[in-house]
Structure 1
Amino acid sequence: MGRRTQAERDAMTIEMGYALVSAAVLAGLTFAAVAAPALLLLDLGRTARTVVLTVAATIAVLAFVTRVVHVLWRFPTRPEGHRLDGAPDPAGLPRSGRSDPSP
């Protein structure tokens, strides 16, 4: 397995930035969607308010991590059909059997 080109490193940097920014926006929106209705519409005590904020923060963190993993998992590692460990990607290999799909 050879070294990565500058274009591959740049693409990965941009993808990581996209993953982090989109995950931060998603986490903020998730926190607001969970916490705002309970805090603005209901008259909660101190303990209930703390519980709502803790649940909202926990769900926002889970949304953040899920988004980052989802975006980076889908990022292609090598365009020429090889995984990062050097093994050929089974999806990139030709299938055995007839090459012409017509009957």
Structure 2
Amino acid sequence: MGTRSGDRRDAVTVEIAFAVVTGAFAAALVFGVAAAAVRGLELPGVALRIGGGAAGLAFVARVVQVLWHFSPGVPGEAVPQPSQPGRTSPDS
């Protein structure tokens, strides 16, 4: 395994923290909706357990989604630049 620069390690750390925090927020939101439904609609207690399971799934889904889209790049590999509208490419 190659060495990583401090900037790259910091970027990975920030991205993981962002994924966990937003995942926790999504889980809390899902669990809150489930708890409100149980209380407001007088549903049985098993509905709260289902809500807890859904909250766990929401957490995992959010963390995976954030980390899946994050790519810190490979050292020594060029990062593709976005196209620039209105300009011609050099090979045209």
TM-score, length basis structure 1: 0.68
After TM superposition, list the pairs within 5 Å mapping 1:1-103 onto structure 2. Answer: 2-39=2-39, 41-44=40-43, 48-49=44-45, 51-78=46-73, 82=77, 92=80, 99-100=91-92
Structure 1 runs of 4+ aligned residues shifted over 3 Å read: 79-82
What is the aligned length? 83
Q: CA deviation at 1:2?
A: 4.0
TM-score, length basis structure 2: 0.76
Larger RCO of the pair (alpha carbons < 8 Å, separation 6+): 2
Q: CA deviation at 1:42?
A: 2.5
Unaligned runs of 5+ in 1: 83-87, 93-97
Deviations 1:11-57 (A, max 9, x none): 10011001000100110001111221232x2234xxx21x1111100
Report sequence identity in percent.
Answer: 40
Deviations 1:62-88 (A, max 9, x none): 000000000011112316684xxxxx9
Q: 1:67 to 1:81 in 2, by over 3 A?
A: farther
Largest Rg, 1 or 2:
1
| Residue equivalent to 1:85 | none
